[in-house]
């Protein structure tokens, strides 16, 4: 089964990840086909630049994947290439909407590398056309949401209901190579920031609702992890994200019913277990940006606890979420008001705490 990817590592690495360690995915029979990395989806419907670079312009820069994608981004061929692809499925993600772009002529391209450094002679040809940097998320949506619509109007006839959106979540903190927790430096904000999460979520909700896309929504459970690719990056998640995401991807393709609005208890359990492996002085910090993004009524109760209280009661909290998954339908169909439902959840917390828990 061949899959095209238009987005970033957030989507692509659920299918394939090339490094010395390699992640052991559960989707080995799935084969990646076209991969457009950091070729912004809204920018893909804009006009091509009047001067297009060639691979020769990048002589001396040993990064053929980035070079190919930069040329694709500037020539605006991503959509036409997708329409000619033999793959039946398309995975997309919206990471690049939070990443810095360059406005050039009446078009744009994604900042992957400084053109004046990696292609100095080419940059001299377009320097006078470069207007400056921007982020799509900083622009009023009425100016660029129509570009999103144009994109889907073009690709939907080919992929139909075979489009999967891998949702993005930007981390404020990351796990260091020493197993400590540190804040991602502010000077990395041009690559996407946790401050962009709400806007990204609104964009994702917009396309899911309007175009009935399938979705993978587990990035919110995972920290950024230096061990992923030996770098500090807000969307290079803990290893379990990729193996868990690959399982969900496979389930969607095989036609299994995957309900993204329900809790993903495997991801949640991973968070609780992972915190036990951290140094004691960092376990509370692991809950600073709460992993409880699961059900608003219960989330609101949990985040009211201090990080220390969350860490101390993490197994009880997990048990409540497990109970909620089995009983959510009953609560939703009742005539109880929200505070009455929360009272039930609080009582369950007390019950599980009193009786103790088995891991």
Q: Which residues of the chain have pLDDT under 50?
A: 19-26
State pLDDT tens for residues 144-195: 999 999 999 999 999 999 999 999 999 999 999 887 889 999 999 999 999 9
What's the pLDDT score for residue 20? 45
Dihedral angle computed from the Cα positions of residues 85, 246, 221 and 196, in that order, rounded to the nearest 10 degrees: -10
Q: First CA to last CA across the chain, in angstroms?
A: 38
For 7, the token pair is: 């987005």
Beta-bridge partners for 110 = 101
Query: Would you state the pLDDT for residue 28?
Result: 62
* pTM greater than 0.85 (yes/no): yes
Q: What is the pLDDT of residue 291?
A: 67
CATH numbers and ranges of domains, the chain: 2-261 (3.40.50.1110), 262-359 (no CATH)
What is residue 243's predicted lDDT score, i.e. its pLDDT? 85
Output the pLDDT for position 23.
Answer: 43
How would you classify the pairing of strands 31-37 and 2-7? Answer: parallel
pLDDT in tens, 117-135: 999 999 999 999 999 999 9
What is d(CA 89, CA 164) in angstroms, rounded to the nearest whole number? 8
> In whole angstroms, what is the distance from residue 224 CA to residue 173 CA?
7
Q: What is the pLDDT of residue 22?
A: 42
Contact 205, 167 (CB under 8 A): no
Confidence (pLDDT) at 15: 85
CA distances from 288 to 98, 173, 196, 235 (A): 23, 9, 18, 17
Q: Look at residue 308 in the predicted model and tell me its pLDDT.
A: 87
According to the model, what pLDDT value does residue 163 have?
Answer: 97
Rounded Cα gap, residues 322 and 317, in angstroms: 9
């Amino acid at each position: 089964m061949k899959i095209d990817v238009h987005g970033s590592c957030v989507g692509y690495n659920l299918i394939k990840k090339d490094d010395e360690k390699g992640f052991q995915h559960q989707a080995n029979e799935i084969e990646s086909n076209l991969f457009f990395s950091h070729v912004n989806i809204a920018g893909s419907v804009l006009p091509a630049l009047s001067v297009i670079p060639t691979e020769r312009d990048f002589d001396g820069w040993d990064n053929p994947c980035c070079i190919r994608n930069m040329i694709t981004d500037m020539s605006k061929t991503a959509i036409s290439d997708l329409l000619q692809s033999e793959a039946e499925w398309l995975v997309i993600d919206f990471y690049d909407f939070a990443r810095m772009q360059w406005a050039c002529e009446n078009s744009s391209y994604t900042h992957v590398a400084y053109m004046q450094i990696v292609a100095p002679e080419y940059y001299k040809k377009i320097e006078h056309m470069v207007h400056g940097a921007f982020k799509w998320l900083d622009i009023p949506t009425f100016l660029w949401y129509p570009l999103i619509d144009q994109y889907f109007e073009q690709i939907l006839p080919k992929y139909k209901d075979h489009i999967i959106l891998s949702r993005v979540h930007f981390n404020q903190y990351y796990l260091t190579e020493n197993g400590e927790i540190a804040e991602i430096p502010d000077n990395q904000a041009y690559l996407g920031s946790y401050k962009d999460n709400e806007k990204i979520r609104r964009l994702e909700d917009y396309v899911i609702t309007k175009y009935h896309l399938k979705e993978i929504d587990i990035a919110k459970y995972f920290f950024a992890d230096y061990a992923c690719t030996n770098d500090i990056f807000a969307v290079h998640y803990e290893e379990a994200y990729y193996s868990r995401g690959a399982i969900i991807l496979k389930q969607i393709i095989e036609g299994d019913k995957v309900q993204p609005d329900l809790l993903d208890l495997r991801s949640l359990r991973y968070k609780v277990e992972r915190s036990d492996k951290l140094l004691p002085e960092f376990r509370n910090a692991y809950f600073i940006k709460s992993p409880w993004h699961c059900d608003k009524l219960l989330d609101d109760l949990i985040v009211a606890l201090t990080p220390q209280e969350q860490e101390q009661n993490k197994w009880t909290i997990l048990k409540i979420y497990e109970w909620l998954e089995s009983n959510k339908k009953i609560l939703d169909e009742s005539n109880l008001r929200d505070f009455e439902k929360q009272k039930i959840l609080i009582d369950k917390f007390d019950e599980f705490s009193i009786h103790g828990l088995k891991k």
